[in-house]
Chain A
Amino acid sequence: MFNVGVKYCGNCNPVINSKKILDALVKGMPGCRFGPPDAGVPALLILSGCETDCATRPGLQVETIVVAGLSVDYVSCKEEDIPEIVTKKLIEIKGRMMA
């Protein structure tokens, strides 16, 4: 099982539904366990409700994917495309870890 830490921003005025995005990822990636951003997780997923990206980082030196509003890793995208883009990035990270 590939553990992914998830960190939310607090969602004061979100332009995306972060919970729905995570639900789609959980459903689409059965080989991944999405949980708290504890020490030891090999990857970190930041879910910020808007592009201001207020999520505080737990300070882990790990591979990180940043969803901030309608963007993934600072590249603009549609909300419905976010799970697919994140999935591809997680598969790439997992592949690098296994190599």
Chain B
Amino acid sequence: MPMMTGAEYIESLRKLNTEIYAFGQKIENFVDHPLFRPHINAAAVTYDMAHEPEFEDLVTVKSHLTGKKINRFTHIHQSTEDLVKKVKMLRMIAQRTGTCFQRCVGFDGLNALYSVTYEMDQALGTGYHKRFVEFLKYVQENDLMSAGSMTDPKGDRGLRPSQQADPDMYVRVVKKTGEGIVIRGAKAHQTGIVNSHYMVIMPTVALGEADRDYAVACAVPVDAPGIFHVFGRQTNDERRLEGEIDTGNARYGIVGGEALTVLEDVFVPWDKVFMCGEYQYAGMLVERFASYHRQNYGGCKCGVSDIIIGATMTLAEYNGAAKASHIKDKITEMLHLSETLYCCSIACSAEGRKTASGAYYVDPLLANIVKQNVTRHIYEICRLAHDIAGGFIATLPSEKDFLSPKTGPFLEKYFRGVAGVPTEHRVRIARLVENMTGGTALAESMHGAGSPQTQRVMIMRQSNMEHKKRLARKLAGIPEQE
């Protein structure tokens, strides 16, 4: 099958039997449900843009496995240029959607598994890489969307997986047969999983020998028997059920659409199992996935920030405040913060390195710097957006009040800004700023791709402190210690 279009991707979701629950109910037709459709539309953009000539250099690439033209979201990075193009692609797509388009998580899972299965086989004599490559070819040839399923519920964070009071707090192997394995547990915060085709399961922490049963990586269809998804709530999500303007970004929504995915004794055939008991390689897999995923944030969040900055400047103009020097200064600061994120993502890509498998991996120190900055800069960008926008983004009446014959004319009159700009335009931009800069969108910047402390652990570990100390001692005239 050639690369899918957005419409073909959406139709492919209808063929699945994905079991989804939201607001206490089983969702029968999630594809057309207003709670889910914006996220589906955002993911569909990753398919449509592959067919638009002006974007194809970023969104498509030649498969190193088959030589065929494929969507980059199914590609294994073959150079630092590929890593850089990934970041540019993410920024460009985010500039269109203004929100998460979800497909990078599975992309990063595929890349992490590609190099780790290779190195695991080299060291342990296992045969996972060949299996994984066959699965990868299937993903590329069918242009599938896979969800990167790493985060376990974790239970007591002070205990190892094997020490938990409830052994299901981390996904584990409960049975092995000649045909495959049976897994149980759950994966949390699963971005885009309800509108994916496969989930690519990986461990969420480095593991010890006692945690052997938890060392499992595999691919499972999201609608496999035993799997169901409970969709997470977002700030203002019910506005999607009411109208258009109050959602801010009605077509693509806010953030990615996350779910808790429950795996109740799910069978996985051996040909889709890529780690089963090799606990020594869980840490490497987690680090590679996390670093690839942290690389992304100076791409997509920068693209989202491009829209926040554009919306904030537009609102300043609609408010008649755009020429004030403090507004210009704050907008400049927003640009500086956003482009700093981009610099970090480009840097960790340009400094990427070849792995034993031939695939390329980002510089893990710089990738963690990207994400650490995102946990701060996006909050500051959003704070400045609120400052410039004014308090009315928090007090605006609903779309229905603007449509009401009684209240509408008064709202039209009293929410007007500069002459010549319709009140509705000012309200639309205000709602866009409100929804892109608060609630779930902010928390996602903090915890998506790992909470801040996980990056700080990696930053310290990767920092080459001995080298810095040696440089200092030399300049201070302290003899070199042998």
Q: Does A2 contact B (CB under 8 A)?
A: no
The answer to whether residues A73 and B356 also contact, given A52-B351, A52-B363 and a CB cut-off of 8 A, is yes
Contact of A13 with B356 in the complex, beta carbons under 8 Å: no
Interface residues of B in 73-103 (CB under 8 A from A): none
Give the complex CA separation of A75 and B467 in angstroms. 22
The residues of B that contact A74 with a CB separation of less than 8 Å are: 354-356
Interface residues of A in 23-49 (CB under 8 A from B): none
User: Chain B 342-359, CB within 8 Å of chain A: the 1/0 string?
Assistant: 000000000111111000
The residues of B that contact A52 with a CB separation of less than 8 Å are: 351-353, 363
Contact of A68 with B353 in the complex, beta carbons under 8 Å: yes
Contact of B464 with A15 in the complex, beta carbons under 8 Å: yes
Q: Does B12 contact A (CB under 8 A)?
A: no
Give the complex CA separation of A68 and B363 in angstroms. 13
Q: Does B122 contact A (CB under 8 A)?
A: yes
Identify A53's interface contact among B119, B353, B464, CB under 8 A: B353
Interface residues of B in 332-373 (CB under 8 A from A): 351-356, 363
The residues of A that contact B467 with a CB separation of less than 8 Å are: 13-15
- Nearest-neighbor residue (CB-CB) of B119 within chain A: A75
Give the complex CA separation of A14 and B122 in angstroms. 27
Identify B122's interface contact among A13, A51, A53, A75, CB under 8 A: A75
- B111–chain A nearest beta-carbon distance, Å: 15
- Nearest-neighbor residue (CB-CB) of B118 within chain A: A74
Contact of A75 with B356 in the complex, beta carbons under 8 Å: yes
Q: How large is the interface on A (under 10, 10 to 19, 20 to 34, 35 or more residues)?
A: 10 to 19
The residues of A that contact B352 with a CB separation of less than 8 Å are: 52
The residues of A that contact B356 with a CB separation of less than 8 Å are: 73-75
- B121–chain A nearest beta-carbon distance, Å: 12
The residues of A that contact B119 with a CB separation of less than 8 Å are: 75-76
Give how many B residues have a beta carbon under 8 Å from the other chain's beta carbons. Answer: 11
Give the complex CA separation of A94 and B355 in angstroms. 25
Give the complex CA separation of A14 and B466 in angstroms. 10
Give the complex CA separation of A4 and B351 in angstroms. 27
Most buried by A among B119, B353, B356: B353
Give the complex CA separation of A13 and B354 in angstroms. 18
Most buried by B among A73, A74, A76: A74
The residues of B that contact A73 with a CB separation of less than 8 Å are: 356
- A37–chain B nearest beta-carbon distance, Å: 19
- Nearest-neighbor residue (CB-CB) of B284 within chain A: A76
Give the complex CA separation of A76 and B119 in angstroms. 9
Give the complex CA separation of A53 and B353 in angstroms. 7
- Nearest-neighbor residue (CB-CB) of B468 within chain A: A13
The residues of B that contact A13 with a CB separation of less than 8 Å are: 464, 467
Contact of A51 with B464 in the complex, beta carbons under 8 Å: no
- Nearest-neighbor residue (CB-CB) of B363 within chain A: A52
- B292–chain A nearest beta-carbon distance, Å: 15
- B46–chain A nearest beta-carbon distance, Å: 29
- Nearest-neighbor residue (CB-CB) of A73 within chain B: B356
Give the complex CA separation of A4 and B19 in angstroms. 62
- B284–chain A nearest beta-carbon distance, Å: 8
Interface residues of B in 140-171 (CB under 8 A from A): none
User: Chain A 51-93, CB within 8 Å of chain B: the 1/0 string?
Assistant: 1110000000000000010000111100000000000000000
- A64–chain B nearest beta-carbon distance, Å: 13
Give the complex CA separation of A51 and B354 in angstroms. 8
The residues of A that contact B353 with a CB separation of less than 8 Å are: 51-53, 68
The residues of A that contact B464 with a CB separation of less than 8 Å are: 13-15
Interface residues of B in 264-280 (CB under 8 A from A): none
Give the complex CA separation of A66 and B267 in angstroms. 42
- B348–chain A nearest beta-carbon distance, Å: 10
- A75–chain B nearest beta-carbon distance, Å: 5
Give the complex CA separation of A76 and B122 in angstroms. 12
Give the complex CA separation of A74 and B118 in angstroms. 11
Give the complex CA separation of A68 and B351 in angstroms. 13
- A89–chain B nearest beta-carbon distance, Å: 14
User: Chain B 113-131, CB within 8 Å of chain A: the 1/0 string?
Assistant: 0000001001000000000
- B465–chain A nearest beta-carbon distance, Å: 10
Give the complex CA separation of A51 and B80 in angstroms. 13
Give the complex CA separation of A97 and B122 in angstroms. 25
Give the complex CA separation of A7 and B79 in angstroms. 21
- B409–chain A nearest beta-carbon distance, Å: 64
Give the complex CA separation of A95 and B280 in angstroms. 34
The residues of B that contact A14 with a CB separation of less than 8 Å are: 464, 467
- Nearest-neighbor residue (CB-CB) of B122 within chain A: A75
The residues of B that contact A76 with a CB separation of less than 8 Å are: 119
The residues of A that contact B351 with a CB separation of less than 8 Å are: 52
Give the complex CA separation of A51 and B353 in angstroms. 6
The residues of B that contact A51 with a CB separation of less than 8 Å are: 353, 363
Give the complex CA separation of A73 and B354 in angstroms. 10
Give the complex CA separation of A13 and B414 in angstroms. 60
Q: Considering the complex of A and B, which 9 residue pairs feature the smallest CB-CB distances, nearest first? A: A74-B356, A51-B353, A52-B351, A15-B464, A52-B353, A75-B356, A74-B355, A74-B354, A53-B353
Q: Can you show 6 pairs from A to B with CB atoms below 8 A apart?
A: A14-B467, A52-B352, A53-B354, A74-B354, A75-B122, A75-B356
18 extra interchain contacts, Cβ-Cβ under 8 A, other than A14-B464, A51-B363?
A13-B467, A14-B467, A15-B464, A15-B467, A51-B353, A52-B351, A52-B352, A52-B353, A52-B363, A53-B353, A53-B354, A68-B353, A73-B356, A74-B354, A74-B355, A75-B119, A75-B356, A76-B119
